[in-house]
Structure 1
Amino acid sequence: MAQTAITPVPLAPPSAAKLPLRAILPWAVFFGLLMLVLLYFVGAEQGAFSVFSGESVHEWVHDGRHLLGFPCH
């Protein structure tokens, strides 16, 4: 009975593809501003800092406000 030997094939190391900072920076700024706007609406959109009148925004983000630990009552 003949035996066949399997020789392992070495894997090539993954290429380190680097993205230039100029490609990432606009997206990072965009998402950073978006997160700040969302944080404002969840954390401070009520009372004296209110951009919109009424309680509609407060009711939309009420549960998220409690989930993140912001007091609102």
Structure 2
Amino acid sequence: MATASTISDDVFIPIGGETAIPVKDIIPWAIFGVLLALICLYFVSTEQGALSLFKGMYVHEFVHDGRHLMGFPCH
């Protein structure tokens, strides 16, 4: 006969106890996420302008529609 199992039988799903993620484990990922967001914002908003890092129009053309979608003028 088959026995009925419940979610509490699964050893990989914690039930009760301490399930919160400590802040010291979240901070490095939060810093990484903010840094990644700022880099993306730079390329969409500023690149190929007065503070460009790359020559040519390749980055500008790649993010052109995103630039207009976010309200940044480019021409």
Tell me which residue corresponds to 2:62: 60
Tell me how many residue pairs correspond in the alignment. Answer: 60
Q: TM-score normalized by structure 1?
A: 0.76
Q: Which 5+ residue runs of structure 1 have no aligned equivalent? A: 1-13
Q: Which 5+ residue runs of structure 2 have no aligned equivalent? A: 1-14
CA distance in 2, matches of 1:41, 1:67: 14
**Higher normalized contact order (CA 8 Å, seq sep 6+, divided by chain length):** 1
Structure 1: 4+ residue segments shifted above 4 A: none
RMSD: 1.4
Q: TM-score normalized by structure 2?
A: 0.74
- CA-to-aligned-CA distance 1:31-58 (integer Å, 9 cap, x gap): 1000000000000002221000010000
CA distance in 1, matches of 2:48, 2:54: 8
Match of 2:49 among 27, 33, 47: 47
> Among the aligned pairs, what percent are the same residue?
58
SS at match of 1:47: coil
